[in-house]
Amino acid sequence: MSAALLIARRELYAYLRSPLGASLIAAVLLIDGLWFHTQGMSRTLLSAEVLQEFFYGASGTTMIAAIVLSMRLVAEERQTGTFTLLSTSPVRDVEIVLGKFLSAYAIIVLMTALTIYMPLLILVNGKVSWGHVAVGYLGILLLGAASTAIGLFASALARSQIVAAVIGASLLGVFVLMWLIARAVEPPLNEFFSALAIHHENFRSFQQGILELRRVAYYLVVTYFFLLAATKTLEARRWR
């Protein structure tokens, strides 16, 4: 566990020292702010509806940011030739994966925390439920964890950051579009594909401020599955 934390600290410092971390956070805050301003200016939406729309927009920027952050985690090591040194060190593959995941996820958490002032602005002219805010942010963080795990798995597969970004975006896109597949097939397959959709059905309850444990479990399972897949990918490459 200590090795994973050391790797996480090293990667986190790399994000904070490079323009990627700051520029990505700034871009996300700008887009979220513009989206919130657009929804907040609408006179036809109630305060709860503005909050729902804010979480809807923030979920999109979170997924994109997760792919951008995670594309470099393993692929960059291969590009620079440092992955051989890392893989031959006395560090287990699971610690490498966990450390790199924690570093990217820490940026997601920081980025999400910096948007908290937006829902609070609703209090100027309206009312919000603190439970709705808490559940919505929980959904954002769970979605961010699952998206980061998918991106990390893609980075473990690829030899370059561009390829990792394409694979990660494609995988995430498939999970996002599962709800469309669900509409095109007959029962009971429609329920199966709908349950797999990473955003449409599973995020909607968080967006509305409704906490459902099965939705929480879904994101935790997706995160665990892709972290495990990334670990097994590294193990397979180690023995080649």
* pLDDT at 230 (0 to 100): 93
pLDDT above 90: residue 16? no
To 10 degrees, what angle do helices 93-113 and 130-157 make? Answer: 140
Please tell me which residue, 49 or 82, carries the higher pLDDT value: 49
Return the higher-pLDDT residue of 104 and 18: 104
Q: Please tell me the least confidently modeled range out of 18-22, 150-154, 204-208, 212-216.
A: 18-22
Q: Whole-number mean pLDDT of the chain?
A: 87
CA distance 143 to 131: 18
Residue ranges per domain, the chain? Answer: 2-238
Residue 155 CB coordination number (10 Å): 31
Residue 45 contacts residue 125 (beta carbons within 8 Å): no
pLDDT at res. 18: 83
Give the whole-number percent of the chain exceeding pLDDT 90: 48
Residue 75 reports pLDDT greater than 70: yes
Residue 238 has pLDDT above 90, yes or no: no
84: pLDDT strictly greater than 70: no
- The confidence score (pLDDT) of residue 224 equals 96
pLDDT: which is higher, 214 or 43: 214
| Confidence (pLDDT) at 109 | 96
How many Cβ atoms from other residues are within 10 Å of residue 59's Cβ? 21
The pLDDT > 70 percentage for the chain reads: 92
From residue 210, alpha-carbon distances to 132, 138, 164 in Å are: 7, 11, 34
Length of the chain measured in residues: 240
Give the gyration radius of the chain's Cα atoms.
Answer: 19
Q: Can you state the angle between helices 19-40 and 93-113, rounded to 10 degrees?
A: 40
Show the tokens assigned to 198.
């990473």
Contact at 8 Å (CB) between 51 and 119?
yes
The two tokens of residue 89 are 């060190």
